[in-house]
């Protein structure tokens, strides 16, 4: 029996003063017009934390260290064409200024109160944020749709 391939992704919950950094997707072909958190696919040959460091530098320009990241939630998600393992992380330490480094993929980068998220947020990201807020480490999404 062949091992099933999963797609791995790393996400950053950057939280300051009870606000979370969200970016609105633009011209990506996936959930455009909806907010998500800075994130990206793991390339292989890297840990989830290393992938998060790389993706966050590419998307919002800040420098992270893997040892400063804490995995706060894991989601096993069934997407349209594949299955995914999503790693959601936080940090309180970074260097540099938050900026939109991919204006061709993101048309807004804003802080939102954790208790007042925008209506147009990617649903599974909202579920992950709610899991984090409630202290639930593991969640599943998309299996009953």
In this prediction the pTM is 0.94
Structure confidence by residue, pLDDT tens digits, 21-38: 999 999 999 999 999 999
H or E segment and range at residue 11: strand 7-13
The span from the CA of 95 to the CA of 63, in Å, is 5
pLDDT score of 145: 56
Residues whose CB is less than 8 angstroms from the CB of residue 56 and which lie 6 or more positions away in sequence, other chains included? 12, 38, 62, 64
DSSP codes, 82-120: SEEEEEEEE-S--BS----S-TTTEEEEEEEETTS--SS
Average pLDDT taken over every residue of the chain: 95
What is the DSSP-derived secondary structure letter of residue 3? P
């Amino acid at each position: 029996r062949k091992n099933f391939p999963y797609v791995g992704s790393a996400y950053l919950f950057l939280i300051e003063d009870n606000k979370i950094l969200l970016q609105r997707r633009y011209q990506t072909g996936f959930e455009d017009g909806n907010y998500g958190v800075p994130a990206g696919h793991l390339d292989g040959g890297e840990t989830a934390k290393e992938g998060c460091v790389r993706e966050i530098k590419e998307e919002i320009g800040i420098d992270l260290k893997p040892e400063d990241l804490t995995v706060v939630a894991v989601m096993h998600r069934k997407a349209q064409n594949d299955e995914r393992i999503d790693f959601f992380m936080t940090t309180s330490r970074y260097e540099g200024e938050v900026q939109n480094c991919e204006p061709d993929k993101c048309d807004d980068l804003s802080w939102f109160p954790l208790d007042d998220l925008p209506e147009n947020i990617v649903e599974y990201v909202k579920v992950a944020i709610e899991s984090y807020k409630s202290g639930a480490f593991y969640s599943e999404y998309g299996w009953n749709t």
